[in-house]
Amino acid sequence: MNFIVLSSSGGTTFQAVIDRIADGFLTARCLGLVTDRADRGCIEKARKANLPARIVERKNGWTRDEYDRHLDHAILDLFDECRLSQKNPLCHPEVRAGLIACIGWMWLLSPWFVRTWRGRILNVHPALLPLHPGRHPHEEVLATCEKESGMTIHWVDEGVDTGPIIVQKKCSVLPGDTLETLKTRVQELEKEWYPKVLQKLDTQPSETVSP
């Protein structure tokens, strides 16, 4: 299975995926990164791993649909590069035969984009969905004094973190937790489980991932 990473973050979990490819655990093949800004930390991680990166900056006046069409073009460009490269003879001839792995992608994808890639967009959300969807889950968990949090890996649909759940993992919310300490604890789950889910989808694509 080939996949492309979509990220607008520092790339902590992306680095975990890169590391599991390097140590041989993950046999799925990352073909590159698409991000939204040149100063994102994920770009440096891609370059250190010799992965190509594409930057699709948001322009004033673009609708979500217009931006996502440019995003789609960048993703297809990476798949095309794979198919045309002598170094990547195993790339599938179909244009959209790979997976999009959203790792720290902070923008809602348009209905057009989701329809175009339906069933092939994976996302990780740092909360126990359906609780706390959206962009500020850690703040909400702390504000509501919850005793546990965690992460959810799910397929993307047209809603906000409403797609079918693949796996969830929990962690405790400790007395005195701050935004950073909770975020770090949840990221440890993401770093462990995102590569595991990718590997499961690579080896048994029709199977559900066991908890």
pLDDT of 43-95, one tens digit each? 999 999 999 999 999 998 899 999 999 999 999 999 887 766 645 444 444 55
Cα(180)–Cα(139) distance, integer angstroms: 10
Per-residue pLDDT tens over the stretch 13-45:
999 999 999 999 999 999 999 999 999 999 999
DSSP alpha helix (H) spans, the chain? 12-22, 41-48, 64-84, 111-116, 137-143, 179-203
Q: pLDDT value at position 211?
A: 39
From residue 210, how far is each of 49, 80, 147, 153, 200 by CA, in Å? 29, 33, 24, 12, 9
Strand order in the sheet with 99-102: 53-55, 29-35, 2-6, 99-102, 121-125, 148-155, 165-172
208 contacts: CB under 8 Å, gap ≥ 6: 166
Q: pLDDT value at position 20?
A: 97
The percent of residues above 70 in pLDDT, for the chain, comes to 90
Question: Domain-by-domain residue ranges, the chain?
Answer: 2-203
Q: pLDDT value at position 210?
A: 42
186 contacts: CB under 8 Å, gap ≥ 6: 126, 127, 138, 149, 150, 151, 171
Q: pLDDT value at position 129?
A: 98
Per-residue pLDDT tens over the stretch 119-133:
999 999 999 999 999
Q: Report yes or no on whether pTM surpasses 0.95.
A: no
Catalytic positions, written as ranges: 125
Tell which residue, 176, 167, 175, 174, has the closest CA to residue 194: 167
Fold that domain 2-203 belongs to in CATH? Rossmann fold (3.40.50)
